[in-house]
Amino acid sequence: MKRSLDTVVLSDIHLGTVGCHAVELVQYLNSIDPKRVILNGDFIDMWNFRKYYWPDAHMHVIRTLITMMTNGTDIYYLTGNHDETLRKISSLQLGPLFIRDKLVLEMNGERVWFFHGDIFDITMKHSKWVAKLGGKGYEFLILLNRWMNTISEKLGYGKFSLSKKIKDSVKQAVNFIDDFEVTAMELAIEEGYDYVVCGQ
């Protein structure tokens, strides 16, 4: 039996990349019955999108979401930095599919602000090429990590996330420069939002 939910938020899925966990996502989506799904940015990775890499599992995610819409679920696709091209059509609505840059919902009497978070990212504001280069490097690390995990598991050590460790250390290095969480909270208070939900 599917679990009934009011709202499900999914962020940074990165369909079209080797790091996407599409099989697991389909399993999760098939286990729930939400009123609305919020795809909170970077759902399709248009920076790293390649015609030759779109596995069946990635298409299965799309089909599953279409089935959910057919069954009455509203889908809000919020744009992120990796799918920023969609910002050109960010007021589009096609039936139960809404493309937006941000979303404000009233939930249980409180205002909730949903957005991706890249609008506060200093690398996106000033050096987009650095962010894109980082995306390519991250994809390479995922492939390297899979190879290393295969060896590590055969030796009995289990899995580890090389890409997460590197990404976390890089983010810690720039935290003192760009604390977008504080900025987002200050803006939310100013706008009268009770909660902030962002990706990135």
- 3-118+178-198 carries CATH number 3.60.21.10: yes
Three-state DSSP at 26 gives: helix
> What pLDDT digit, counting tens, does each position of 71-89 carry?
999 999 999 887 888 889 9
Q: In whole angstroms, what is the distance from residue 25 CA to residue 170 CA?
A: 27
Domain boundary assignment for the chain: 3-118+178-198, 122-173
> What pLDDT digit, counting tens, does each position of 146-190 carry?
777 788 788 888 777 765 666 666 555 555 445 667 777 888 889
pLDDT at site 108: 94
Q: Residue 113 is inside which H or E element, if any?
A: strand 110-115
